[in-house]
Structure 1
Amino acid sequence: MGPVRWLAFYGEIADDMAFDGYQIVILDRGYRGSITNIGASGARVCSYLSLCEIRTGDPLFSALHASALLEPNPDWPGTRRVDVRHSSWRAFILDTAIPSIEAAGFDGLMLDTLDTATYLEATDAERYRGMRAAAIALVDAIRDGHPNMTLIMNRGYDLLADLAPRIDAVIVESLLTVPDGQGHFVLADPDAVALERALLAPAVRRRPPLPILSLDYWDPGDRKMIAELYRRERAFGHHPYVATRLLDSIVPEPR
């Protein structure tokens, strides 16, 4: 396939012109601008959807049965992990969250936090047995119920061999850049990059290969390094986007 221009933006509003020329646009479902206007130029407009965690500030949080909630995620204050095996969570995603996303005009989903399911099962196999299988089954149900929606998975490498045939793209996040603990990003260790690329093998082996969208973070003022990150990702065969960590601004590729 040819190059894919894409971006992720989680701010509440932006000028419609900022989205021109992109084939895939990922937004938070709380975006207050016109989804119709963004899609009018041919872009697939995808809503962020967390499948294994939920923000307590999510407008739909009150619709979720409390029995599906697990402990908070210590790395993301205000976020609760969820029991993806629970029937009420499955119903929440399929019968409440996705219909609200469709009603807002989105024609795709960016499926996030699937890593949580495999992490929990690996951490406590007794308590969380079946989390991985339940996560796969949920994505399968989404695909079966919405065959025309674009489905993009963020990471979730442990599930990739099972889900590669059911999704339309996978995001590899922070492949070339990693946080330095001081609020900035630095280049990742080459050995770590090689290991993470190896996890993408199911995407590469699929026929046709599953598009790999890379998402790296860098200082938007450093245009020279941003251009270099685009070059390196394209050399891997990826479709890159480089942005700020909060994804609260649109950072055009340097030209």
Structure 2
Amino acid sequence: MTASSLARLGVSWIVVACAAIVILLLSVAWLRPALAACKRVSSTGIGAVAFFYGASVQAERFEQFDSVVIEPDSGFDPRTHTAHCPNWYAYVSVGEVTKERAYYAQMPKTWFAGSNAAWSSTIVDQTAPGWPAFFVEQIVKPLWERGYRGFFLDTLDSYQLVAKTDVERAQQQAGVVAVLHALKARYPQAQLILNRGFDILPQAHDQVAAVAFESLFGRWDQTNQRYGEVPGNDREWLLGQARQIHERYGLPVISIDYCPPEDDACRREIVQKIEALGLIPYVTDGGLQTVGAGGTVLADGAPPLKKATFRR
């Protein structure tokens, strides 16, 4: 630009232009660390994980986590929170449905196999014709369109409440596997975390990113509405399942434990115990309504599961 042109523009324009350049440079400088912080794990990693089923999701409270499972009926829209680090997972129930779900009324009553009184829910017959397609089209598709790319699949073992013979259990397990395969066939990039589902892992382990279970040290009794310690034999059984998952499939394992929300010491102690075993910890309240405590174990390159030595 010539001197005469600058004169015509006036000094004020030069000042504005310089200020704009400075602001742009500072924005890039500030954004770069933020973007780097959001790459703590790969797109298929789990990292530090949280589970929150509260009605109001405040995204900034979960920035220390890499993956966050939330209740999609909260109205949270992951598309409007792409600047935050967590990979957002939607909670999805496979084996049960409640009347509050929008899709409940669309399900044929012949698909209902029983009830779970503790959670006021209905058990879904996994062998019902059309169930896998319905699950993908009516339950997962709307969530995918809202921006969810990860799904936490719960109640995978609920069929055990109604299946009474080995043949019936095998049929129900095959139905659950068919649901998972249908989901991944439609959305190959979907990241899946299973809540238990140990019996279906031989047929479905290559479809999932991680396996979770509840109550390794601290448990929540939904029926009696109280917290308690996990019996040693229950803990040892769960750790046996975790070892098999690590050794056979190389999948990260998450333990979701429970403490009263005001008991910070309880949360810290259980997180440390779970991490010491090479598992990914998350400790929260019984209703998963508060932001709990997680850990630093990453799914990519997680340490091997250690042999447990617990006080009985």
| TM score, norm. by length of structure 2 | 0.74
Cross-structure match for 1:109: 151
- Partner secondary structure for residue 186 of structure 1: strand
Preserved CA contact (<8 Å) 2:131 2:179: no
Cross-structure match for 1:60: 103
The structure with the largest alpha-carbon Rg is 2
The CA distance in 1 between the partners of 2:207 and 2:180, in whole Å, is: 8
Aligned match for 1:91, one of 125, 133, 136: 133
The CA distance in 1 between the partners of 2:83 and 2:225, in whole Å, is: 37
Farther-moved stretch of structure 1 (42-51 vs 29-38): 29-38
The CA distance in 2 between the partners of 1:174 and 1:128, in whole Å, is: 24
Amino acid across the alignment from 1:11: G
Change (3 A) 1:213 1:37: farther
Equivalenced residues, count? 251
Preserved CA contact (<8 Å) 2:114 2:162: no
Change (3 A) 1:176 1:25: same
Aligned match for 1:197, one of 239, 259, 267: 239
Superposed counterparts of 1:144-159, under 5 Å = 144-159=185-200
* Cα distance, 1:105 vs structure 2: 1.5
Amino acid across the alignment from 1:29: P
The CA distance in 2 between the partners of 1:189 and 1:218, in whole Å, is: 15
Change (3 A) 1:33 1:145: closer
Aligned match for 2:59, one of 5, 16, 22: 16
Aligned match for 2:124, one of 82, 87, 90: 82
- Partner secondary structure for residue 118 of structure 2: coil
Preserved CA contact (<8 Å) 1:25 1:43: yes
Cross-structure match for 1:100: 142
The CA distance in 2 between the partners of 1:199 and 1:87, in whole Å, is: 31
Amino acid across the alignment from 2:149: D
Change (3 A) 1:108 1:221: same
Preserved CA contact (<8 Å) 2:54 2:71: yes
Cross-structure match for 1:225: 266
The CA distance in 2 between the partners of 1:211 and 1:240, in whole Å, is: 11
* Cα distance, 1:118 vs structure 2: 4.3
Change (3 A) 1:57 1:192: same
Whether 1:241 and 2:285 are equivalent positions in the alignment is: no
Cross-structure match for 2:85: 42
Per-residue CA deviation, residues 157-184 of structure 1 (Å, 9 max, x unaligned), is 2222332222001111111112467532
The CA distance in 2 between the partners of 1:186 and 1:109, in whole Å, is: 29
Preserved CA contact (<8 Å) 1:64 1:88: no
The CA distance in 1 between the partners of 2:58 and 2:108, in whole Å, is: 37
The CA distance in 1 between the partners of 2:58 and 2:207, in whole Å, is: 33
* Cα distance, 1:220 vs structure 2: 2.1
Cross-structure match for 2:71: 28
* Structure 2: stretches of 5+ with no match in the other structure: 1-40, 296-312
Preserved CA contact (<8 Å) 1:160 1:202: no
Amino acid across the alignment from 1:195: W
* Cα distance, 1:252 vs structure 2: 4.2
Amino acid across the alignment from 1:245: G
Amino acid across the alignment from 1:6: V
Percent identity reads 22
Preserved CA contact (<8 Å) 2:218 2:257: yes
Farther-moved stretch of structure 1 (179-188 vs 42-51): 179-188
Preserved CA contact (<8 Å) 1:161 1:202: no
RMSD, aligned CA:
2.3
Per-residue CA deviation, residues 96-147 of structure 1 (Å, 9 max, x unaligned), is 11111112211111111111134533x2456666111111121122122211
* Structure 1: stretches of 5+ with no match in the other structure: none
Change (3 A) 1:97 1:222: same
Moved over 6 A (4+): none
Preserved CA contact (<8 Å) 2:132 2:182: no
